[in-house]
A and B are shown apart, each in its own frame.
Chain A
Amino acid sequence: MDRDKRKIDAFLPVRVVEFQILLSLAAGERHGYGIIRDAEARGDNKVPDVGTLYRALARMTEQGLITGVDRGKVADAGDDERRIYYKLTSLGLKVARAEAARLAALTRAAQLGGLLSEVLS
């Protein structure tokens, strides 16, 4: 357990684009443009460039955080069959949660420190 935690902690903090990917994939399998659309839909103040996104996808695939999906398993894949879909691995999900927890703790600290005027809940 402890080793597992250390392994996850080694990924933290994740880059913005990586968190965006994790966040997007936490909701389900996505292809590259889908992840960008998610970011736009969330109103993220920094939507990743395509090149940035794919370099991150390559990196995270290699790290085992996400994995490419076999075409046959994607439910709504009517449009373009050459597209690669991605999904979270269990490690990816843990890292995403850990990062979220880390951000939450930071936010709470910022609140307590009076850096955040508005209260987020």
Chain B
Amino acid sequence: MNERRWLARSERWLRILLRVYPVDFRDEMGNAVVHTYRDACSAALRSGGVPALMRVWVRALWDSLRNGLGERVRPAASWRRSGNWGRDMEIAMRRLLRAPMFMAAMVGTLTVGLGAFAVVYAVVDKVLIAPMAYERPDDLYFVWRDYGKIFDLKRGWLAGTDVAELQKSGGVIAEAAGLLSQPFLLSTRGGADPIEITVTTTSPNLFDLLGVRPALGRGFARDEVGPKRPPVIVLSHGLWNRLGADPSIVGRTVWVTGGLYTVIGVMPRDFHFVRHASLGPPSRPADAYTTFAMNLATTNPNSGQYAGLIRARRGTPPEQVAAAVGAVGRVIDLRDFQGSGMSIYPTSLKPDLVAEVRPALIVLGFAAAFLLLVLMVNVAALLLARASKREHEFAVSRALGANGAALMRATILEGGLLGVIGGVGGALVGIWGTRAFVALAPLDLPRRESIVVDWRVAAVVIGAGALLGLLAAVTPAVWAARASLSSLLASSAVRGGGGHQRMRRAMVVAQVALSVVLLSAGGLVVRSFEQLLRANPGFTPDGLLTMRVPIPIPLVPKPEDARSLQNRVHAALASLPGVTRVSAANALPMTAGASQSNITIAGAPGNTGDRDHDNPLGDYIATRAGYIEAMGMRLVAGRAFNEQRHDSVREAVVDRVLANHFFPAGSPLGASIDFRGSRLTIVGVVEQARLYDLHRDGRPQVYVRAEDWDFGMRGLAFVVRSGRPPETLIADARSAIRNIDPRLTITQVRTMNEIIDEALSQQRLGAVLIGGFALGALLLAAMGLFGVVSGSVTRRRHELAMRLVLGADYGRVMRLVIGEGALLIGFGVLIGAPGVYAAGGLIRGVLVGVSPSDPLTLVAVAAGLTIVAMAACYLPARRVLDIDPARSLRQ
């Protein structure tokens, strides 16, 4: 009896002494030391009684001081080899593996969420952030014309003379190049079976200017430009692969649109060059490069058609570049425009390239960040739920002396570990996700080819996962550290686990608030997309097949021969079985391909005398007869072009936008437009067939007869309307054209609906992603709510059963339970409301036809959220309430 008390005292004494040792030693060896000493104590007690025991105590004190302090100075083992963290990690891992369902649920959620984040991050990073793959890309600028008061064109092409002027200006402008981007036909078999490629025609210094070298062969020599020299061509890596990836192609000749070009080089695989466009999206990446066959300095200064690319001297500040370019512009203005106010200005390469997609990508980035937040709260709630199940364990270990820090560390590690695993999963999902994204993404998405999940992106995603897990674990960790036996005993009166419920409720409120924001943003974007889809583009796209039939000058030099060739193409297409109408235009709707020029109608009633108002910039579209009928455009007044054409009269059909501009009350029929030195007589008015945006009118349009003019004449796009599915016509059309001349080909074969889909692909992708994020957030919030309500109902099942037994009716008890959930939802929605407002401001720029505070959308979102959330409350409530109350009470 006595002995046992002494031994207990000894143990207490020894535990105190053990404190002298560092924590690692104590954790690893502490118990063994105490047990060994207790053996010694018990032996001493038996042999020499209390005095002997005292001697052991004193000796233990001395021993602990000596070895404990010694151990602190020079640890016996490298405890830190895996360290406490390592050991905790192992324990955390083991604990997770013991709960495979929990782990699978957490890792699954994290993987999906972080995978979505990975895709968005990769896209945002590669498109908006990563530098372009040129030498010192920050010193590169495109240069544009701003016509100022002359006419309304703020971003026009340069004339060749402007480029020449920039080239000789010197100063901070180190190099300048002019660029044209055109579709050419290329054939390696003497002209037969050509393929269409995009060729950038440029000044010979382009590659030096960009700081890149061909992977095979050479680039252009400085004097390899101008007329009367053998034409040379440099292939892109992609085109070289398409032609069979034969290194010996360098030095051979290929047939390019009627001429023989010598291949002198092949660019490296990672080199992509996109010429920015003055209007509309940038052109497709170049397939090949060649140099101008004329001298830019001798071109027409009034004909703006070149993109100007300059490289500034190393590290020149942008303002200085703008000043230098502006100075060149003043010279040009004085010389070519008599000082009427034309100016030129530079735009940085990357901001210019990504300007169009920037707002959408930023919205997407925010949505992804929000999803991560919701995910984090969800993980926190799950960890908390888990921690609450281990409440006893925590409280007991706390009571036994485990310090709070250790418990915190264990919980935080658990979160971090889950985060890292989820991050790795997310990065893997991201790799495939990005591939899918790139496949879905619009072809004109800038820098599309560079979007991949690389190591840097993967590291960020895994880091984000780890951070998310750690942060999520902080709340449960703090809670776990506070768990004490007394609080446990107090709460066990209500059958275990109480304190965490408040925290979980707070988390559900946060989740609901975040989901409301994301859902409303998602709802608005989806609705905006729906508006786009419903927009009337001004023509009937169904059943239309379109194809371009380029007629190169070298192949058919005379315009009249080209026209008769087009008549044969027209006839051949019209004779295909099932075809009802055929026509052609140089610019199809939704392709932004028209020519622009000022529209002047002398004496029109709408003229105000204001120069800007009376000379609006309009789109001129050259069409063959029957175009308006074939496209299914709506004729408002007058007539369309008919088959009879008179050389003496040049006809025009205008759109309603133009008619309203110049003839607000009367009819424009019979009025004439000054165009290229002759007069166009207006014979009809149509609804605008939109060229740029599906949902709103663009510039005023003037349709002219393709036969009357030479612009766009050699690249007419034929439209074929038929009763057959348009895709089934392609093979027939191809062979019909080939039968006319094997050197002809059809290119850009697309149905009109495909053209529209492509024009909408960016919005579609955005809507799908944001909608997906929003639904994900909703699902996560519902899961959180489900967890809280089912926890609360389980805890209160005695009380609820008692109420039922005492006569409360089922519906009333159900309302009690659901009311609890509804309160949380209400709070969440209230807290989220300002966020909805802020998000509305953020996405305003990407919305079309929907106000950011669109009541219908917001009410629908609120209703949808409430229904889902209520279901998440109802299901667990029913599960518990359906148990016979008598059984519940017995348990």
Contacts and interface: CB of A to CB of B under 8 A. Distances in A.
| Chains A and B come from one and the same complex | yes
A58 B25 contact: yes
A36 B67 contact: no
Interface in B16-36: 21, 25, 28-29, 31-33, 35-36
B78 A50 contact: no
A51 B39 CA distance: 14
Given A54-B29, A55-B25, A55-B70, A62 B36 contact: no
Contacts of A51: 21, 33, 63-64, 66-68, 71
A23 to B, nearest CB: 18
Nearest to B65: A51
A50 B36 contact: yes
B66 to A, nearest CB: 7
Contacts of B36: 31-33, 36, 50, 53-54
B71 A55 contact: yes
Contact of A59 (B21, B59, B64, B76): B76
- State the main secondary structure of chain B at its contact with A: helix
A73 interface: no
Contacts of B68: 51
A33 B77 contact: no
A80 to B, nearest CB: 6
Interface-centre pick from A51, A56, A57 (highest chain B CB count, 10 A): A51
Nearest to A68: B32
Nearest to B71: A55
A52 B63 contact: yes
B35 A33 contact: yes
B63 A57 contact: no
A107 interface: no
Contact of B67 (A32, A55, A82): A55
Contacts of B134: none
A64 B35 CA distance: 24
Nearest to A48: B63
A36 B77 contact: no
Contact of B77 (A32, A58, A80): A58
A50 B63 contact: yes
A49 interface: yes
Given A57-B29, A59-B76, A59-B77, A52 B35 contact: no
Interface residues of B, number: 26
A83 interface: yes
Interface in A38-73: 49-59, 61-62
B63 A61 contact: no
A52 B40 contact: no
Interface string B65-84: 01110110000111001000
A84 interface: yes
Contacts of B31: 82
A51 B67 CA distance: 6
Contact of B40 (A33, A55, A80): A33
B60 interface: yes
Contacts of B33: 32, 50-51, 54
Given A52-B63, A56-B76, A59-B76, A83 B70 contact: no
21 contacts: A31-B32, A31-B36, A32-B33, A32-B35, A33-B35, A33-B39, A33-B40, A36-B36, A49-B59, A49-B62, A50-B37, A51-B67, A53-B36, A54-B32, A54-B67, A55-B29, A55-B67, A55-B71, A55-B76, A58-B77, A82-B35
- Which 10 A-B pairs have CB atoms at the shortest separation, nearest pair first? A51-B67, A49-B63, A62-B77, A55-B76, A33-B39, A32-B36, A59-B76, A58-B76, A51-B63, A58-B77
Given A31-B32, A51-B71, A57-B29, 5 more contacts: A32-B35, A33-B39, A49-B59, A55-B25, A56-B76
